[in-house]
Amino acid sequence: MEDFLQHVLNGLNLGAIYALIALGYTMVYGVLQLINFAHAEVYMLGAFSIYYSNKWLHLSDHPGWTSFVISILIAVMVCSLVGLTIERLAYRPLRGAPRLNVLITAIGVSLFLQFSGQAVFGADPKLFPQVLQDKDLIQFGQIQIRSFDLTIIGVSLAAMALLHFLIHHTKMGMAIRAVRHSRSSASLMGINVDLMISLVFVLGSSLAGVGAVLVGLKYPKIDPLMGMLIGLKAFVAAVLGGIGSLPGAVVGGLLMGLSEEMVVAYLSSTYRDALAFGLLIVILVFRPSGLFGKYEVEKV
Amino acid sequence: MKILRSALLWLILFSLGMAAFSQGILNPYQQLILSYIAINVILATSLNLVNGFCGQFSLGHAGFMAVGAYVSAVLSLHFKVFTGSLDFLNFPFYALAGGSVAAVAGWLVGMPSLKLRGDYLAIVTLGFGEIIRVILLNMESVGGARGLYGVPGPTNFFVGTALAFFLAGGTWLVLWRLTQSSFGRAFLSVKEDEVASECMGVNTTQTKVFAFVVSSFFAGVGGSLFAHTTNYLNPASFQFMKSVDVVIMVVLGGMGSLTGSVLAAIFVTILPEALRPLQEYTGVDLRMVIYSLSLILLMILRPQGLLGSREWNSFFPFKKRGAK
């Protein structure tokens, strides 16, 4: 039982991170109907931005909340810039092109970032600077609650709450929702559609940046291909929750993290990567619109 | 029947001719490259059926290739129809078996995902490739992570090259006839507009699944050829990057042009060999950087690929029948 609770805790941790990244996928899918493969690489670049900025700022010499907040700010800034650049250079020229072409471009951008990352940063794994120290907070019998666990869950919740506020309680959020609903009518109402799409990329990429710092703290090995698998799993989480739906992405991420942790704990760790895709096929067979999605019939 | 027989005759003549040609002027290294070209031609043209002609997007060709490769390798280790000097006649049967199992896998994957819109197929096939790899890694009976050693192959280069070109030429012939038939028109109509083609009486799901199954079949054939050419299989050969390689060939050559896929397959196979000195000089693998950059630029500047949907016969106007 205590083992089980420990696994639940670990699963929630993993799930919170998946949820953060899944939000980026689901938001972009909502406005552009595009699987933004490059999102995972934005996350990777976020982690590397901390690695390199640490060489200048020496944040890991003074681990603590200040360093933590500074590194989150750096990662968010770098990721937003990268997301904005990708959208501007690769996706915007293809606005109105067939969806398949945009999808291929997304895969191209993702591969380009992965492999130029290998060429620039080197293919060998690097150690993520520890900008915050891990402490043993509470111990119930066998269950350990470490400060990182609470930090990850707390920071992700805060980021999601902020996103919720921005989307549902500001004018900008209302504009984004309008663009999501119908791009052409939003533009008739005087909304700058391109600007809103850029904003969606900025918001999604910022969450990926927050995720990068949190993952870096918990699993401090980073390499240029680190985004690929976590990105795919986050995408499956978004589909599980219903792509395009924000609460769906969060619930999907948590479910994904929990089920993965359980597979590793009670079956075999070699199957952890196959689980995500097995789950995806099952969803597509039984409920293609996901848990929270609406099934849309294509109209002429 | 008569057409089929003459096609088979031409095919055998073509493969023997290519083999004799390569035996005459190429060294063993170049002959091996030639076999790899044949494998990539099979993979690229078959993927083009789904990604180009049908307008869907599959990212798991390496998975079907792996299925074909392993089935064919295991069969060849335990089972023989012809023995002695006719041994080489076994390989087309292994290819057929590998392809058939891959086709069944394609049906299982395609059925649920092709009912939905295009981009789900990309993720499902990607996931399928990954699942196959993980299963193969955990199957001790086929070597697991150590790989499968000692897969029998053709005994000499002449037979090997002839076999490679027989399979590649056969793939091309079947796909060419298929795309020129009423099935081919149905594929194109699904690509252009699913709703409209459904109104015209095309069963879109069935058409897409059909294309996907045929494409998986030939991916399995390509995998079988790969198994018997390299004589060694490892799950790591069938990673996501392999599927991406094939996608790059299809996009580069032109989605909807078999000729383009053949040209791109030749180009993409030779390029890394040509780039080898550069790679030794710079010390980093620039191949994927170049490929990915060319994917992005192609999509922005020339989304139809090099040849678009044109085939070899559109470059010879006198051959065109019923032209506009």
Q: What is the mean pLDDT of residues A185-199?
A: 92
pTM, two decimals, is 0.86
Range with the lowest mean pLDDT among A163-177, A268-282, B16-30, B220-234?
Answer: A268-282
Q: Which domains does chain A have, with CATH numbers?
A: 2-286 (1.10.3470)
Residue B259 lies in a domain: no
Q: What is the mean pLDDT of residues B140-145?
A: 82
| A191: closest CA of chain B, how far (Å) | 26
Residue B127 lies in a domain: yes
Residue B263 lies in a domain: no
Q: Which of A104, A232, A298 sits opposite B295 (nearest CB)?
A: A104
Quick check: A104 and B131 CB within 8 A? Answer: no
Q: How confident is the model at residue A47 (pLDDT cuts 50, 70, 90)?
A: very high
Predicted complex ipTM? 0.81
Range with the lowest mean pLDDT among A98-107, B34-43, B116-125, B315-324?
Answer: B315-324
pLDDT at position B324, please? 45
Q: What is the mean pLDDT of residues B267-286?
A: 78
Task: Check pLDDT > 80 for residue B118.
Answer: no
Q: What is the mean pLDDT of residues A261-272?
A: 81
Residue B104 lies in a domain: yes
Number of domains in chain B: 1
User: Domain residues for B61?
Assistant: 2-239
pLDDT at position A299, please? 55
Residue B277 lies in a domain: no
User: Which amino acid does the sequence have at A67?
Assistant: S
| B75: closest CA of chain A, how far (Å) | 26
Residue B163 lies in a domain: yes
Q: How confident is the model at residue A86 (pLDDT cuts 50, 70, 90)?
A: very high
The answer to whether residue B7 neighbours chain A at the CB level (below 8 Å) is: no
List of chain A residues whose C-beta atoms are within 8 Å of the C-beta of residue B286: 119
Residue B33 lies in a domain: yes
Q: Which of A102, A107, A273 sits opposite B134 (nearest CB)?
A: A273
Residue B68 lies in a domain: yes
